[in-house]
């Protein structure tokens, strides 16, 4: 799946197109989304705006951000214990019983980046979470943000890739 992407104005700011696109995908309960960009902080900022805007998304959602160095944490909160481990972080996604969006930074390392073999436990866990997230009592979505797209064959039908076409940032 390719979304409409991020559009820029002549001043280089992001228009509402990305926000509308990602909000629609969240509302439709797409369990896994993937955005290729070097500007992960901008994506996190845009997602934060979407999940807190009732005009864009029916059910407000809590935002959690994961990286292998910090683990899974809500903004301005301490990471959850042991959550730097990607399998543990995915377990937390499954266990949390609240409306939420989980942004995973640089997860491509576990999916086979750099010619490495994808981690079979991670691939299996992601596959297992697809129906769990779609059918969860509370809406939950996972967004992978990475400078490169790496999807093992087993996940290509389960993860929707968005075309962001990020404009240059203001300098």
Give the separation between CA 11 and CA 156, rounded to whole angstroms: 36
Domain with residue 101: its CATH number is 3.40.50
Whether residue 82 lies inside any domain: the answer is: yes
Give the separation between CA 134 and CA 150, rounded to whole angstroms: 23
Whether residue 169 lies inside any domain: the answer is: no
Does residue 104 sit in helix, strand or coil?
Answer: strand
| The total number of structural domains that make up the chain | 1
Whether residue 1 lies inside any domain: the answer is: no
Q: Which residues, in sequence order, are bridge partners of residue 160?
A: 33
User: pLDDT-based confidence at 166, cuts 50/70/90?
Assistant: low
What pTM does this model have? 0.86
Pairing of strands 140-146, 100-105: parallel
> How much is the pLDDT for 3?
39
pLDDT tens digit sequence for 52-64: 999 999 999 999 9
Q: Is the pLDDT of residue 9 over 60?
A: no
Cross-sheet strand order for the sheet of 100-105: 71-73, 62-67, 100-105, 140-146, 32-36, 159-162
Whether residue 171 lies inside any domain: the answer is: no
Query: Which has more pLDDT, 2 or 171?
Result: 171
Q: Which domain holds residue 61?
A: 16-162
Q: Is the pLDDT of residue 13 over 60?
A: no
pLDDT tens digit sequence for 116-127: 999 999 999 999
Whether residue 10 lies inside any domain: the answer is: no
Share of the chain above pLDDT 70, in %: 87
């Amino acid at each position: 799946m390719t979304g409409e992407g991020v559009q820029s104005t002549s001043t280089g700011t992001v228009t509402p197109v990305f926000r509308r696109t990602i909000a629609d995908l969240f509302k439709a309960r797409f369990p896994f989304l993937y955005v290729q960009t070097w500007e992960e902080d901008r994506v996190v900022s845009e997602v934060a705006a979407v999940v807190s805007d009732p005009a864009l998304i029916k059910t407000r959602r809590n935002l959690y951000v994961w990286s292998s160095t910090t683990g899974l944490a809500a903004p301005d909160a301490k990471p959850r214990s042991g959550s730097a481990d990607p399998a543990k972080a995915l377990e937390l996604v499954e266990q949390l019983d609240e409306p939420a969006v989980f942004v995973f930074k640089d997860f491509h390392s576990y999916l086979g980046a750099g010619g490495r073999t994808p981690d079979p436990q991670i691939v299996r866990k992601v596959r297992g979470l697809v129906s769990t997230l779609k059918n969860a009592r509370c809406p939950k979505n996972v967004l992978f943000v990475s400078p490169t797209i790496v999807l093992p064959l087993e996940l290509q039908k389960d993860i929707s890739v968005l075309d962001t076409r990020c404009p240059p940032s203001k300098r």
